[in-house]
């Protein structure tokens, strides 16, 4: 099968011909129609899970995918051949990824039936970003009419978080590059803020002189993140998907803090599916690239500036 893989940590992704995997007990073999790109893919490639999970090389990249179950191993009960599925397929050993024509994975992972009307390239972009946005908003626990400042709002997690927050009646202040203004308004952002402007803090203070109720930061760490937490009201809540919340930030003003650590679950995919099926979730596929183009696209993708999600068609 064709797959995009690296032969060592921090290696250069290459299109390779690798053996088609076969499902073991409790596993399913999925013939993938699409995968998607997540920052997690590069982090895994650079060894973020080294020492925490076993790896295999060539390490096939990619954690998210969508396709059709082609075979099932003994004991599989949740899926049958020809089921259309999507999900997050990462499991031990790391390296049996979704930038490939086929993937095998335990059926117990966060894998769900692909809803009617959702194409493979749409379904493939949902799992990691969508589940993370859902978990982050659950943990913020905001109520209708409360406000959240989202930094990095036009990226993968942000483009789901803006929608999920807005659908719940939360006022979403979406900060991103000016080129992403229309995109974010279409996703339901209450207000767009230019994240490249030196006036961002003043712009927030105009509407919220005492601070917003919450910060969801998908981009910043260290001093940048710390400065932005000053825009949250006393007793508000701050959340980071990059581990930027520290104890020291919480003590002074009675803030509650959350370092989001998304634990993938099929129930989360089912909640996203329900939102889609009721017309309450737009799937933010902004680019599609074929599998063969991934190696050349890697450097460009990693530079940033992307909007929404990139789907890989297989
Ligand atoms: N903890 C978890 O469980 C978990 C789960 C999923 C994701 N994550 C992490 O969460 C982060 C976001 O994920 P994602 O999938 O949304 O990534 P993404 O699609 O790359 O989006 C990140 C967004 O942040 C923007 N950005 C980057 N630096 C910025 C800065 N200094 N100020 C303002 N905006 C900035 C980017 O815009 P430009 O590219 O235009 O600069 C981009 O729109 C990643 O680090 C990812 O690894 C963590």
Confidence (pLDDT) at 95: 98
Confidence (pLDDT) at 60: 98
Confidence (pLDDT) at 107: 98
Query: Considering just the CA atoms, what is the radius of gyration of the chain in Å?
Result: 20
In whole angstroms, give the CA distance from residue 41 to residue 36.
Answer: 10
Q: Where are the alpha helices (DSSP H) in 124-265?
A: 127-140, 156-167, 181-186, 200-207, 222-229, 247-251
Confidence (pLDDT) at 219: 97
Bridge partners of 156, per DSSP, are none
Angle among Cα 212, 268, 94 to the nearest 5 degrees reads: 105
User: What's the rounded mean pLDDT across residues 15-38?
Assistant: 98
Mean pLDDT of the chain: 97
Both tokens of 193, joined, read 């803020």
Residue nearest to atom 15 of ligand 1 (CA): 156
The 10s digit of each residue's pLDDT in 200-233 is 999 999 999 999 999 999 999 999 999 999 999 9
User: What's the rounded mean pLDDT across residues 151-161?
Assistant: 98
The 10s digit of each residue's pLDDT in 55-111 is 999 999 999 999 999 999 999 999 999 999 999 999 999 999 999 999 999 999 999
Q: What SS3 state is found at 94?
A: strand
| Cβ of residue 177 lying under 6 Å from some atom of ligand 1 | yes
Confidence (pLDDT) at 303: 87
State the sign of the Cα–Cα–Cα–Cα dihedral 207, 209, 210, 214.
positive
Bridge partners of 102, per DSSP, are 31
What are phi and psi for residue 77, nearest 5 degrees? -125, -20
Confidence (pLDDT) at 110: 98
- 22 near 29, Cβ under 8 Å? yes
Q: How confident is the model at residue 304 (pLDDT cuts 50, 70, 90)?
A: confident
Confidence (pLDDT) at 301: 87
pLDDT score of 300 more than 90: no
| Percent of the chain residues past pLDDT 90, beyond the cut | 96
| Cβ of residue 192 lying under 6 Å from some atom of ligand 1 | no
- 85 near 109, Cβ under 8 Å? no
Work out which ligand 1 atom sits closest to the CA atom of 304.
Answer: 39
| Cβ of residue 262 lying under 6 Å from some atom of ligand 1 | yes
The CATH number of the domain covering residues in 129-259: 3.40.50.720
- Candidate from 131, 133, 152 with most ligand 1 atoms within 8 A of CB, to mutate: 152
The CATH number of the domain covering residues in 2-125+284-313: 3.90.180.10
Confidence (pLDDT) at 50: 97
pLDDT score of 252 more than 80: no
Q: How confident is the model at residue 280 (pLDDT cuts 50, 70, 90)?
A: very high
| Cβ of residue 40 lying under 6 Å from some atom of ligand 1 | yes
| Cβ of residue 152 lying under 6 Å from some atom of ligand 1 | yes
Bridge partners of 27, per DSSP, are 106
User: What's the rounded mean pLDDT across residues 275-295?
Assistant: 96
User: What's the rounded mean pLDDT across residues 118-144?
Assistant: 98
Where do the domains of the chain lie?
A: 2-125+284-313, 129-259
Question: Distance from the CA of 57 to the center of ligand 1, in angstroms?
Answer: 27
In whole angstroms, give the CA distance from residue 167 to residue 13.
Answer: 38
Q: Point out the least confidently predicted range of 79-88, 246-255, 285-294.
A: 246-255
Question: Distance from the CA of 99 to the center of ligand 1, in angstroms?
Answer: 21
Residue nearest to atom 48 of ligand 1 (CA): 241
* DSSP 8-state symbol, 241: S
pTM value is 0.98
């Amino acid at each position: 099968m064709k797959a995009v893989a690296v032969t060592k940590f921090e290696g250069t992704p290459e299109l390779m011909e690798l053996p088609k995997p076969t499902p073991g007990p409790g596993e399913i073999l999925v013939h993938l129609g699409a995968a998607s790109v997540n920052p997690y893919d590069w982090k895994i490639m650079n060894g973020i899970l080294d020492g925490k999970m076993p790896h295999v090389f060539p390490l096939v990249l990619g954690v998210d995918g969508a396709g059709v179950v082609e075979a099932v191993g003994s004991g599989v009960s949740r899926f049958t051949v020809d089921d259309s599925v999507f999900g997050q397929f990462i499991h031990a050993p790391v390296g049996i990824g979704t930038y490939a024509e086929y993937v095998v994975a335990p059926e117990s992972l966060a894998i769900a039936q692909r809803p009617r009307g959702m194409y493979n390239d749409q379904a493939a972009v949902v799992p990691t970003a969508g589940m993370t946005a859902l978990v982050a908003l659950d943990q913020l626990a905001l109520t209708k009419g409360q406000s959240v400042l989202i930094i990095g709002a036009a990226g993968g997690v942000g483009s789901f978080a803006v929608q999920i927050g807005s659908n719940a009646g939360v006022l979403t202040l979406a900060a991103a590059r000016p080129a992403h203004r229309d995109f974010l308004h279409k996703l339901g952002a209450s207000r767009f803020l230019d994240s490249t402007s030196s006036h961002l803090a003043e712009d927030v203070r105009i509407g919220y002189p005492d601070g917003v109720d919450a910060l969801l930061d998908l981009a910043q760490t260290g001093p940048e993140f710390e400065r932005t937490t000053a825009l949250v009201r006393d007793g508000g809540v701050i959340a980071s998907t990059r581990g930027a919340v520290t104890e020291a930030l919480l003590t002074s003003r009675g803030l509650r803090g959350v370092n989001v650590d998304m634990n993938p679950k099929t129930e989360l995919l089912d909640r996203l599916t329900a939102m889609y099926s009721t017309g309450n979730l737009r799937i933010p596929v902004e680019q599609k690239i074929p599998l063969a183009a991934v190696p050349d696209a890697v450097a460009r993708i990693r530079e940033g500036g992307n909007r929404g999600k990139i789907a890989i068609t297989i």
